[in-house]
Structure formats: C-alpha cells, structure tokens
Amino acid sequence: MDQFRTLTDLEQYLKYYQGKKSPDLGEYDPLTQADSDESEDDLVINLQQKNGGVKNGKSPLGEPPEPDSDAEVAGAAKPHLSEVTSEGFPSEPLGGLEQKAASSLVSYVRTSVFLLTLGISMILVLLCAFLIPCPPRDLHSTWSRHVGSQAGGDLSPLELADVNGDGLRDVLLSFVMSRNGSVTGVSRPTANLVCLSGMNGSTLWSTPLPEEARDITCLDLKPGSLAETVCLVTGTHKMLSTFNATSGKAIWTLNPNYLSNGTLVAPVVVLPDLDEDGVRDLVVLAIGELQPDLCFLLVSGRTGIPVGRPVKYNIVGVGNLIGPQVYITTNGAVYILFGFGNIQAVALRDIFVQAQNRDSSPPSLQIEEPEWEKRRSINLSELIDIYSDGVELLQMVKAPDSNCSNFLITTRQGLVLLRGQNLTPYWTLSLQGLRSQPTPGYFTNDQTLDFLLQIQDGIGMKKMMVVDGDSGSIIWSYSTPCHMKETPTTSAVTSDQKSVFLFWAEGLSATSPTSDIILGAEVPSLHHLYLLHPAFPSILLDLANTTGTVTASEVGINDLWKDAFYVTRATRPSSEGHPAALVVSKLSLRWALMEGQVTQFQETTPKIGRGELRRFLSRIKFVAAPYEI
C-alpha cells in the first residue's frame, strides 16, 4: 500500500512536470530549462527516498519495478533520472566540471586585474591632486599696488625675476621714501629694496639700502648649476651689494674703502670667471671726484673682494657716459666698451694684467680679435677707438647671420648700426631729436631686428616710427600728442616670430594726426598704453590708461600660459609739498588684447572687420625673445 501511494504521488508529480513543459508557457530556453530540470530531479529523488520508494531504479527490497509501472514510463520519458550516483545524487560529466572551473578562474583573474588597475589609478589621482603642487594659474594677471610715497630720487630701477620658484616672474624695485627720524622727528629719506609677488602684488620681502639704487640685475652667477638666483644692486655713490633673491638677505657688500677716491657711475657688469672659483666675476666703473680719470675695479662674484687693484684710464671726451658693457667676439675675445660721448674699448686681458700686476693672464683672456686690434692707437695704447661722433646711447643687438652682436649707436645726428665683427657701418639714418633708446623687435618678415623710435616732434608732440633693421629705412610712422618726457617703450615676441610694440601717448582719435592742434593748451591728465601689431599697421589698440607718470616698464613672459605681462612703475600726482605716490601695476597682454579699444587712424582696403581682428588677437601667443639687447 505504501509503495502504491508512493507511485501514485510520483505519477502526479510527473504529470505536473510535463505540464510545465507545454508549449503554452513560452519558448524553450536550454539554459533555464537545464537548471529547472536539475532542481526538479533532486525533488523527485528526495521524494522517493522520503517515502521508501524507488532508489537507483530499484524497490526498497531490491526488486526491480514492474515493466508496466508508471515509474518505468517516467524513466523512458526522462532517461537521465536513472543516471545517479550510489548516494542518490546525479553525476555530472567530467568535461563540464573542468569548463566550470576554468570559467571561474578566468572570471577571478579578470576581476582581480580590474580592481588592481582601479586601485593604481586612484592612487595616481590622489598623488596628482594632493602631493604634486599644481602650477598657479595667473588668470588675467592684472593688479595694481600702491607701494609707498617716493620722496626724491631721479632713478627708477625695475627688474623681473622668479624669486619664489612658482614659475611666475616677480617684481623688484628700489625707491627713496620719507621716514621720520627717531630722535629729532625730522623727516629723512631712506632707500628700500622691495620684492613684489608676480601673482598678486603682495610684498615678498623688503630690505633697507644705505643709498639710492641705480640698477638692479638678477641672475645666476654659477652658469649651468642649480644655484639660487642673486640680485646685484648698484648704488649711486659707493654701494655694490649682492642679495639672495629668495629671502632678500645680503650675501656680501663691497667695502666702500676700495672706492675711496671715486664714485660708481654705472651699473655693475658681469664677466666670465676670472679667478677660477666657479662663479662669474664682476667689474665696476668709478670716476674720480677731483679728476676725470675712469677707474675699473674687478670684483669676485663669490666674496665681493676685489680681484687685484683698481685700474685707471685717462680719457678725453665730452657728452654722456657710455657703458661699461662687455662684448665677446665670435673668436672668444673679451672687450669692455666705455667712453664719454664716444665709444672706446679695452681688452679684459689688459685690465686683468694691470690689476694683478703681472705679465700673464688666463688662457681664456689671451684670445684677440684681429679686426679690433688693428684699431689700436698709433702709440700702441691699450684703448681701441670704436666710434667717436656725438654718441648718446649704445646698445647691442643680435646679428641675424652670426652668434655675435652688432652695435646700435644713437647719436645727436641720428642712428647708426655698426657691425660687431669688423666695426664697419651697416647703415646710417639721419634723424633729429632722438633721445630715448630704440626698442628692438620683429616688424618685417626677414627675421632681422627692426627698431621702434620715438622722436620729439614739436611742443607736446612726438612721432613714433619703425625703422627697418636690414636697410635703415622708415617703414611706419605716426605723430601723437604726449607731454610725458621720455616715456618707456617695449616689445614682446609672439610665437610666429613677430613682435608687438607698446608705447604711451595721450588719447588718440580716429581722425588724422595732422588735424589742427592747439599748442599751449592745458596738459591732459590721462595717458594711454597703445599696442602696435605689424599685421595691422593702421590700427592701434588702447590697452590701459593712467593719470600718473610712467617712469619704467618691463615685459615678462609666462611660459606656462604663453602669455606676456607688462609691468609699469609710475608716480601719481600729489599736492604741493607732499611726496608722490609710487604705484606698481601688472597687466596681462593676452587679456588686454581682448578687452582693448580699437583706434583706426588710417582707412584700409578692404576694411578690417571687428570679428576678423578679434579672432586674430585671440590666437596670439607670446614666447621668450630670442635676442638680447
């Protein structure tokens, strides 16, 4: 009876099982059906074992089932139900187990590799975000800082150098300010050397100076090394000091006793290493207080101690002091250029021999330049005549076809470009009223340096012009009102080897500059900064304006953002009897190009569209100048 009940239950289950496989329940899915079959098989076997029914195809007493029983019919319909192990569990093929094991291993390896890669990526992101400092973005790099009140002082030294290692050049300047005395209460002038952050204009450091500074030059005296940048400060009397550019602390100061009979009259000049201590050395020029003798003093760049005794030269000349400047020829000969209204040269070898009071010199100083040596005086003097016709200014410009420099000489009669190799004139331009230093830059397409000039052109007027560096001809000019005396001009080089030129003038209108101008009218109080690009010579961009007097300006390059910034030093007007306010400002040129106002002083055909001009200006990128003045 028990067996019948078991078989009856089995028959009902099989009928229910076959009903699940009817076509009415949808499509047949082999994977889903296989899982369902295995689970249902287990249920059938468990049911048989619980009720004492068939096990391994046999009855509990070991008797085979009847051939016509329902169990046999079910076995025919489901053959794999009889393929079980001795414990009653279905046996799987060996190949299936191996495939499942291999699939599980591959899945595990893939998951491990993915998680490992994800972990390494997250670590790298964290390192970049928190451990590696991101370079500071200069945004539009425009700020203005009131530094203090300038009480006296005719000089306006200004220098750019990266002193804090943030990749942005900072601003160094010196000025004379009034400060009350501690005992008498009387205001007395004091000089300060100040360094401002190139990022926001904040004060990085400040240090007092014993006298007004004539010049500030920041550089590395150990070429090819990772030494810190130092700043050389030359005073107006006897001061020569070297400061650590990062901290502002003095490294050494030249003992004034070495200049007891003279006064410094020019900025310090950097020389090659003379005493072979791994640091470049220096030379200063002093003039006697009671006699017109010029005195050269060689100074160690490492210690500030003189390298030998002073060397004196008695020269004859009338006019501006020229130099000193160091010049190295293509052969490696080193000369010092100087003069009064003229240009003379002396070999560094001769100065060194006299300073050391010996007949020999280092091998690097024994090189001579034949073309220069031919110009020695008839009496075999150490002085070499270079140019002697009313010299006002001397500057060196890189020659396009060699690794040496040419001499651009400003005279009372005009401008002369002299070849540095053989000292012969390249071209001469006759001009009257040229007093300020020409600004080199690329205006034409011949990769030869051209020059921006400003010339006094009547009362309250000046003429801006560009001179072709290859031929000496004037290729652009424009007259503009300007009452500021000797306003600075600068230039910046773009990535396509062109230059933009910047100058100051009073407000320009779109009318012709030849229109009637009332002379002697009230002097305007607003001056504008204008930019000239050689691609649009009929357009000037008005970038900024000021009510003060601009006394110095410098252009620096932000290599990271391919931008140029324009730094100015200006004094704002003050009431009578009060010192003028000293203001330092910084302006991003790429930002100013997009915000500037367009002044078109000459009609062109076809007419320049604002959209075309704006697209052109937005693509401008600035790079470091490949030339040195």
Q: What is the DSSP string of 311-378?
A: EEE-----SSEEEEEEEE-TT--EEEEEEESSEEEEEHHHHHHHHHTSS---GGG----HHHHTTB-T
260 & 246 share domain: no
The predicted pLDDT at position 66 comes to 45
* In-domain check, residue 170: yes
492 & 614 share domain: yes
* In-domain check, residue 151: yes
The predicted pLDDT at position 128 comes to 77
313 & 284 share domain: yes
Please compute the mean of the pLDDT values over residues 142-148 and round it to a whole number: 92
Q: Which of 49, 222, 202 is nearest to 136 (CA)?
A: 202
Instruction: Indicate the pairing of strand 425-430 with strand 439-441.
Output: unpaired
DSSP string, 540-605: EEEEEEESSEEEEEEEEEETTTTEEEEEEEEEE---TTSPEEEEEEEEEHHHHHHHPEEEE-S--S
Q: Summarize pLDDT for 420-442 with one digit per residue, the tens.
A: 989 999 999 999 888 789 999 99
Q: Please, which pLDDT band fits residue 140 given cuts at 50, 70 and 90?
A: low
Give the least confident one: 30-44, 108-122, 288-302. Answer: 30-44
Q: Summarize pLDDT for 487-506 with one digit per residue, the tens.
A: 899 999 999 999 999 999 98
Query: Is residue 490 a contact partner of residue 555, using CB atoms and an 8 Å limit?
Result: yes
Q: Please, which pLDDT band fits residue 190 given cuts at 50, 70 and 90?
A: confident
536 & 582 share domain: yes
Tokens of 364: 């690097």
* In-domain check, residue 616: yes
Query: Is residue 526 a contact partner of residue 507, using CB atoms and an 8 Å limit?
Result: yes
Distance from CA of residue 93 to its chain's centroid?
72
Please compute the mean of the pLDDT values over residues 455-476 and round it to a whole number: 92
Q: Which of 522, 567, 574, 530 is nearest to 548 (CA)?
A: 574
Give the least confident one: 110-114, 379-383, 530-534, 550-554. Answer: 379-383
H-run or E-run covering 107: helix 94-126
529 & 569 share domain: yes
Query: Is residue 504 a contact partner of residue 487, using CB atoms and an 8 Å limit?
Result: yes
Compute the Cα dihedral for 603, 606, 609, 613 and give only its sign: negative
* In-domain check, residue 328: yes
225 & 299 share domain: no
Mean pLDDT of the chain: 80
Query: Is residue 282 a contact partner of residue 299, using CB atoms and an 8 Å limit?
Result: yes
Question: Which of these three, 209, 231, 250, is where a domain ends?
Answer: 250
* In-domain check, residue 276: yes
496 & 566 share domain: yes
624 & 529 share domain: yes
* Residues 466, 475: Cα–Cα separation, whole Å: 6
275 & 246 share domain: no
* Residues 531, 452: Cα–Cα separation, whole Å: 12
Query: Is residue 453 a contact partner of residue 435, using CB atoms and an 8 Å limit?
Result: no
- The total domain count for the chain is 3
- What is the domain-level CATH number for residue 164? 2.40.10.480
Q: Respond yes or no on whether the N-terminal peptide bond of residue 324 is cis (omega within 30° of 0).
A: yes
Number of Cβ within 10 Å of residue 113's Cβ equals 10
586 & 619 share domain: yes
309 & 215 share domain: no
Query: Is residue 299 a contact partner of residue 281, using CB atoms and an 8 Å limit?
Result: yes
576 & 529 share domain: yes
Question: Which of these three, 343, 369, 388, is where a domain ends?
Answer: 388
Please compute the mean of the pLDDT values over residues 463-472 and round it to a whole number: 95
The domain of 261 spans 255-388
* In-domain check, residue 354: yes
* In-domain check, residue 50: no
Residue 565 has pLDDT above 90, yes or no: yes
* In-domain check, residue 536: yes
Residue 181 has pLDDT above 70, yes or no: no
